[in-house]
Amino acid sequence: MKGSMNEALPPQIEPADWPELSYRLGLTDGLPTFPPERRVVAGLIAGSGFPADHVVGSIPPSGRAASVELIAANAAMAGCLPEHLPVVIAAIDAMLEPRFNLAGVVTTTHPCWPLVIVSGRAVTDLGMATGESLFSGGGARANLAVGRAIRLILWNLGGGHPREPVQEIMGHPGRMAFCIAEEPNNTPWELLHEARGLRGVESAVTVFACEGPQIANLWGVATPSTIVASSDVATPSNDAASSNVATSSDVATPEAAGVGARWLELVADQMCARGNSNTHTLGEMLVVISPSMARTLAGWGWTRCRVQEFLWQTARRRLGDIRVEPDGSPALGPSAHYDWWPDWIDQSDPDARVPVTLSPEAIHLVVSGADSIPCAAVCPSWGHLGGFAISRALPAGTAENEGRNQA
């Protein structure tokens, strides 16, 4: 799919010539694109709030400079509108923070890819989908256009092409477009960016390199009829700080507390599969909880922090099951030692319970998805090697074109 990468792009073409030209020059990963027409790009730049020649940074692995004009050219190919460009620029800026290790994320053998998570008012302003089919765009132009723009920027400016140099073994369908939005209103907890310290900010973008969603369906937990009627009582809190304070009196009944814990145990079980990188290297993980599940948990006294703490304590595996000798016995010798684990994990104890993230706060909770049955999705990450969550505030008033962005 690389095409003739060194062939120059003609300055002018007939519109009908674009599809084949874009494939021949390797300007797309295989999906069709819009032409990066100068007139359209100029409109996108005008929506960015930056001059065209402002350089956001160098995009690895090639190191080409990402000016706002070039970001806008790729965004035009993705079908972005001018109001989408601040989101794209903020996401790229976040990915270029050294801690994110974008070069590693793009080229690694591991199937992680930067997920763009939009939270706050911009979700409504841009017409982003938060309901059904969350991870596949939800039928909203903004979700897919933003995700697609990121892909094309990393393709055309970063040169992140399979094999040379991307070494990803299995691939990740999210590489084509990986952007979700957090439910801005119908949530009992503070928003992702608020929980990550961006308080007083209307809207934000968080990038986090992760695998595709792995679903935790809440099968097999008996729910007594006595608690069903009182379960869906929580309302969105206007006081973010107070929403994180839990007391035992918040829990409606012991039965309700038990159901909530059993649900979260199912999620925790999905988080600590033996083959995922987090189980072996910790790092960070994303857990998306559907609005109805979040409201129900909140009604039973579960705060965001309490859920994170419970998942951190529960999503653990026995060290003797994580590292094994050929005969299946625990691998405890020096050659099996994991240098990257913190000292508080006793690597000589086969019964040590090892978490999947470094801390409860490293479990990033997002409330989104269809507001129907309770459900959760788990996205493991690249572990301790990079792709850590980075958040950026978005400028206020991201869109004046509400309603234009639904596909």
Partner 1 sequence: MIELIDPRGSDDSAGVRLARRVRDASEIRKIGFLSNEQEHMTGPHFPGYTRILERALRERLGVSEFHREIKPVLSRPADSDMIARFSGYDGVINGLAK
Q: Is residue 127 within the footprint of partner 1 (CB under 8 A)?
A: no
Which of 53, 164, 269, 346 is close enough to bind partner 1 by CB under 8 A?
164
Nearer to partner 1, 108 or 231 (CB): 108
Q: Which residues of 294-304 are buried (b: 16+ CB within 10 A; e: fewer)?
A: bbbbbbbbbbb
From the list 29-37, 222-230, 284-292, 299-307, the region that binds partner 1 by CB under 8 A is 29-37
Q: Considering the complex, what minimum distance in angstroms separates the CB of residue 292 from partner 1?
A: 38
Q: Nearest 5 degrees, angle CA 212-CA 215-CA 217?
A: 175
Nearer to partner 1, 208 or 382 (CB): 382
Determine how β-strand 214-217 pairs with β-strand 375-379.
antiparallel
Measured in degrees and rounded to the nearest 5, phi and psi for residue 377 equal -130, 140
Closest CA to 178 of 204, 151, 142: 151
- CB count in 10 Å sphere of residue 402: 12
Asked if 369 touches partner 1 (CB under 8 A), the answer is: no
Q: Which residues have a Cβ under 8 Å from the Cβ of 64 and sit 6 or more positions away?
A: 58, 70, 157, 158, 159
Kindly tell me which residue out of 142, 152, 179, 198 binds partner 1, with binding defined by CB under 8 A.
152
Q: Is-contact 91 145, C-beta < 8 A?
A: no
As a whole number of angstroms, the distance between CA 300 and CA 292 comes to: 12
At its nearest, how many Å lie between partner 1 and the CB of residue 65? 4
Looking at beta carbons only, is 41 or 95 nearer to partner 1? 41
Given the rule CB under 8 A, which of 96-104, 114-122, 200-208, 249-257 is the region that contacts partner 1? 96-104
247 belongs to the binding site for partner 1 (CB under 8 A): no
> Strand pairing partners for 209?
114
The stretch among 68-76, 183-191, 206-214, 249-257 that binds partner 1 (CB under 8 A) is 68-76
Residues that contact partner 1, how many (by CB under 8 A): 47
Which amino acid does the sequence have at 326? P
Note whether 165 and 63 are within 8 A (CB): no
Nearest distance in Å: CB 19, partner 1: 13
233 counts as binding partner 1 under rule CB under 8 A: no
Interface residue with partner 1, options 56, 85, 108, 160 (CB under 8 A)? 108
Of 67-75, 252-260, 348-356, 368-376, which segment contacts partner 1 by CB under 8 A? 67-75
Q: Which of 63, 171, 224, 397 binds partner 1 (CB under 8 A)?
A: 63
- Which residues inside 32-51 make contact with partner 1, applying CB under 8 A? 35-39, 41
DSSP state of 166: B
Contacts of 84 (CB under 8 A, 6+ apart): 47, 75, 126, 142, 145, 146, 149, 405
Strands 285-289 and 363-367: parallel
Binding test (CB under 8 A) with partner 1, winner from 68, 70, 85, 140: 70
Question: Quick check: 287 binds partner 1 (CB under 8 A)?
Answer: no
Q: What is the DSSP string of 326-376?
A: TTSSB--SGGG--TTS-TTS-TT-TTPEEESSSSGGGEEEEE-S-SSS-EE
Cβ-contact 403, 326 below 8 angstroms:
no
- Of the candidate residues 103, 129, 352, 365, the single one contacting partner 1 (CB under 8 A): 103
157 is an interface residue for partner 1 by CB under 8 A: yes
Residue 159 engages partner 1 in binding (rule: CB under 8 A): yes
**CA separation for the pair 250, 225 (Å, rounded):** 19
Strand stretches in 74-186, DSSP E: 113-120, 179-181
- For position 58 contacting partner 1 by CB under 8 A, the verdict is yes
Query: For partner 1, which stretch binds (CB under 8 A), given 83-91, 154-162, 213-221, 371-379?
Result: 154-162
Under the binding rule (CB under 8 A), the answer on residue 62 touching partner 1 is yes
* Residue 154 engages partner 1 in binding (rule: CB under 8 A): no
Would you call 96 helix, strand, or coil by DSSP? coil
Say whether residue 74 binds partner 1 (CB under 8 A): yes
CA distance 380 to 382: 7
Q: Which residues bind partner 1 (CB under 8 A)?
A: 6, 8-15, 18, 27, 35-39, 41, 58, 60-65, 67, 69-70, 73-74, 77, 101, 103-104, 108, 152, 156-157, 159, 164-165, 333-336, 382, 385-386
